């Protein structure tokens, strides 16, 4: 059980089965399970239930006739909007800030997050059930968001930081950097190949070698890539007829 | 002009017109304008162009035959994935961290953000053009995201706190990284030299090329070092008797 189990996503008067399905899929992606639908377009809801990707979640979705019933067990009810709605009577918080408040509440008890219909968003009556409104910071000139995308962005922000510490440990598993000895071996192999190619001017040999050494270090190679480079250079050296040996098969 | 004008959203092999339209709409929502599509399913792209909500953006979308061409002008190329792909050779950064790095790069020059096909994500060949991969932190048991929602979540994170990022930019004046076009040229020169040296086994040529591409990207070369490498490889190619020309004195 995580705090997000206390979140109820409430879709009010959704019309498009693809959007209901997309909302459910985003919920599954970010670990939110409880979907409630208020007065959905009947056919849309039936079709959505057969959508792929979040079948369990849709099968368990609860249907309500009105917003009041759908949020009855919640101690905090938050409406959502994209862009700026100038007619709002409500306090409006940007998503980042609002999410922080919601996360605190989720540790205590159920919170409802309401999304309005694709066409009109939340009506004033529907908003009247909300404590405040959360705004997704879209551009003024293209403020209206797709319902499924709005749900995804809100849930991403709410899920953010959960178990972050656990995840980052396995991700930072960079390959071991090469040792200085290996890097120097590579530098010398490269110099030899270049010398055999006629790249190195006798009078500037020392300067060229210094430049190469610096450049090779800038490459910040890991151990595996160094081995690969040494193999490639050995093969070039062999072909160019220097002391290098042919690549082992 | 904002830093986000430097971002190119690249959809690779997208199949569903609704998803292409949804990606474009999310771009409009968060103030990103440059859409590039690689090898789209033709009908899908035509249908998407007539979608509502982001008509200008879709009309100006650029079409490319391959990833290399689509990212040629970019100095940083980032792939995206949801959940954890265990087969990845790339460094993987969580969205929050990756977005921070991308924002810094956007103040300097063009950055490409790649999204793979709905079904398979980005292939290994497609990923070989990327410097690293950004992971949307979805749940392990429901990791696969809808394309339009993935684009929305990534762009939300990138648009987040935007003005702050632009201001702090000038302090970090690293040498300009090479463009993807230059890096790709280097990859091909290296491949030619290796081929002339007998390093490339005919049956494994494609795999070798993909491995090389990945390795060269890991080198994170700056523009000057790339020029130096191209000069060295040209000289080797000349000596090995391929089409390369002798280094100019």
Give per-residue pLDDT as tens, A142-157: 888 999 999 999 999 9
Yes or no: say if B44 and B17 are a contact pair by the CB < 8 Å rule: yes
CATH 3.40.1280.10 for domain A3-169, yes or no, is yes
The pLDDT tens digits for B187-198 are 999 999 999 999
**Paired tokens of B124:** 């290994």
Question: How far B24 CA lies from chain A's nearest CA (Å)?
Answer: 11
Can you tell me the distance from the alpha carbon of A219 to that of B52, in angstroms, rounded to the nearest whole number?
47
Domain limits, CATH 3.40.1280.10, in chain B: 3-171
* Residue extent(s) of CATH 3.40.1280.10 domains in chain A: 3-169
pTM summary value: 0.78
Model confidence at A174, pLDDT cuts 50, 70, 90, reads low
Which of A23-32, A42-51, B6-15 has the lowest average pLDDT?
A: A42-51
Using a pLDDT cut of 90, give the percent of chain A over it: 47
Gyration radius (Cα) of chain A, Å: 30
Facing A239 at nearest CB: one of B28, B29, B198: B198
Residues 218 to 247 of B: which have CB under 8 A from any A CB?
Answer: 218-222, 225, 228, 231-232, 235-236, 238-240, 246-247
Decide: helix, strand or coil at residue B61.
Answer: coil
Residue A174 · residue A222 · CB < 8 Å: yes
| Total beta-carbon pairs less than 8 A apart between chain A and chain B | 167
Q: Which CATH superfamily is domain B3-171 in?
A: SPOUT methyltransferase, trefoil knot domain (3.40.1280.10)
Compare A175 and A141 and report the one with higher pLDDT: A141
Whether B48 has a pLDDT exceeding 90, the answer reads no
Q: Are strands A76-82 and A111-115 parallel, antiparallel or unpaired?
A: parallel
For residue B138, the chain A residues in CB contact (below 8 A) are: 29-30
The residue ranking higher by pLDDT, A24 or B56, is A24
ipTM score here? Answer: 0.76
Mean pLDDT of B67-71: 94
B144 interaction partners in chain A (CB closer than 8 Å): 29, 53
Cross-chain Cβ contact A197/B239 below 8 Å: yes
Chain A residues whose CB is inside 8 A of the B159 CB are 137
For chain A, say whether B94 makes contact (Cβ under 8 Å): yes
Residue B109 has φ and ψ, to the nearest 5°, of -175, -175
- CA–CA separation, B111 and A79 (whole Å): 35
A247 pLDDT band, cuts 50/70/90, is very low
Interface of B with A in 105-144 (CB under 8 A): 135-139, 142-144
Chain B, residues 193-212, CB within 8 A of chain A, namely 193-194, 196-199, 211
Per the CB < 8 Å rule, is B160 touching A138? no
What value does the mean pLDDT take over residues A33-45? Answer: 88
């Amino acid at each position: 059980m995580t705090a997000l189990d206390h979140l109820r996503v409430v879709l009010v008067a959704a019309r498009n089965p693809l959007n209901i399905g997309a909302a459910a899929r985003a919920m599954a992606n970010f670990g939110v399970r409880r979907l409630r639908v208020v007065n959905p377009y009947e056919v849309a809801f039936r079709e959505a239930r057969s959508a792929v990707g979040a079948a369990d979640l849709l099968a368990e979705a609860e249907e309500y006739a009105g917003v009041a019933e759908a949020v009855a067990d919640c101690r905090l009810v938050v409406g959502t909007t994209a862009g700026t709605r100038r007619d709002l009577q409500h306090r409006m918080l940007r998503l980042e800030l609002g999410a922080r408040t919601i996360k605190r509440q989720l540790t205590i008890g159920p919170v409802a997050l309401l999304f309005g219909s694709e066409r009109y968003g939340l009506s004033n009556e529907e908003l009247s059930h909300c404590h405040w409104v959360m705004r997704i910071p879209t551009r003024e000139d293209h403020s209206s968001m797709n319902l499924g995308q709005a749900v995804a962005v809100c849930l991403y922000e709410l899920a953010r930081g959960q178990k972050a510490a656990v995840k980052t440990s396995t991700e930072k598993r960079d390959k071991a950097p090469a040792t200085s000895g290996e890097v120097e071996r590579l530098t010398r192999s490269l110099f030899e190949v270049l010398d055999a190619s006629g790249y190195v001017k006798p009078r500037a040999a020392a300067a060229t070698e210094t430049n190469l050494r610096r450049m090779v270090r800038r490459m910040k190679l890991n151990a595996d890539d160094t081995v690969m480079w040494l193999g490639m250079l050995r093969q070039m050296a062999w072909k160019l007829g220097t002391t290098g040996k042919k690549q082992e098969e």
